Amino acid sequence: MSNNLSKEFNIRDYLREDLMPHFLCPGCGHGIALRALLQAVHELEISKDQLAIVSGIGCSGRVGAYIDANTFHVTHGRPLAFATGLALARPDLEVVVITGDGDSLAIGGNHLIHACRRNLKMTCMMLNNEVYGMTGGQASPTTSQTRYTTTSPKGSIEPVFDACKLAEAAGAGFVGREVTLQMPSLKNLLKKCLQYDGFSFLEVISDCTEIFGRKNQLGTSPEMILNQKSSMRPDSYGNIVDEPFRPNFMKTGVLALNERPEYSATYRQHVARQLKSKEKK
């Protein structure tokens, strides 16, 4: 731990300013998610030497490069596989994976399933902007139906992949979701993820204003983020519920808790038993 809280949070203390200006488009939600993560790190007093950030390919993959910590930029779809080895070898580190909807649900989908299944202590923050924003604007596994992309010029007909339901079904210890509009809630959810002793998965609904927003005429950057605002309406029982506008992402906050043994502790206990057994022979 460090004395981070001895002074007020200043995001510049956690950024590689020599890499500025950043490459993110104006209005991109990824910058908000990055700030929320760094503020959570600050409030939990996690030192930069203790923090390990692993990211893959895409806009989300580039975000990790700006963090002044131990950062690893790996191949497409493989950040969770790389982070698994890192977390096992260095349990003293706080391992955080920053990935995107394509990086973790398409080419990296298999790695996500098994990271959830193992329940190794690490945090996976999946930035979902519904599109392959950096590589041409193709449809991703989370592109909403009827939305236009370069590979669905007449509108997407595929059903949306619910990453949180997948993570829960695969056994992730902690599953959550938040929108970038709700910055305080997002920061607090990230704190819970970082403190959780197991695999925590957090889906962040993040707007792509230039590639996805323009093609679908979703308005300006402020209009897009305001579309994440909640809709107050009665449910079938007459109770007032507070749900995001997006029909495919109806719930935010902590969605699932699956309390079970953390993988690295179980693994080390298994190794110790094997060594002890050999000594007796």
pLDDT, residue 237, reads: 61
Least confident of 122-136, 167-181, 239-253, 261-275: 239-253
Q: Which fold has domain 4-280?
A: Rossmann fold (3.40.50)
Question: pLDDT confidence of 201, banded at 50, 70, 90?
Answer: very high
Does the pLDDT of residue 226 top 90, yes or no? no
pLDDT, residue 232, reads: 45
Q: Would you list the DSSP string of the chain? A: ---GGGS---GGGGB-GGGPSP-PPTT-THHHHHHHHHHHHHHTT--TTTEEEEE-SSHHHHHGGGBSSEEEE--TT-HHHHHHHHHHH-TTSEEEEEEEHHHHHTTTHHHHHHHHHHT-SEEEEEEE-SEETTTT-EE-TTPPTT--BTTBTT---SPPP-HHHHHHHHT-SEEEEEETT-HHHHHHHHHHHHH-SSEEEEEEE---IIIIIHHTT--SHHHHHHTTSEEEEE-TTS-EEEEES-TT----EEEEE-----HHHHHHHHHHHHHHHHHH-
pLDDT digits (tens, 9 = 90+) for 77-124: 899 999 999 999 999 999 999 999 999 999 999 999 999 999 999 999
Question: pLDDT confidence of 270, banded at 50, 70, 90?
Answer: confident
pLDDT, residue 233, reads: 46
pLDDT, residue 4, reads: 53
pLDDT, residue 7, reads: 80
Higher per-residue pLDDT: 218 or 86: 86
Does the pLDDT of residue 275 top 50, yes or no? yes
Does the pLDDT of residue 234 top 70, yes or no? no
Domain boundaries, the chain: 4-280
pLDDT digits (tens, 9 = 90+) for 126-170: 999 999 988 888 999 999 889 999 999 999 999 988 999 999 999
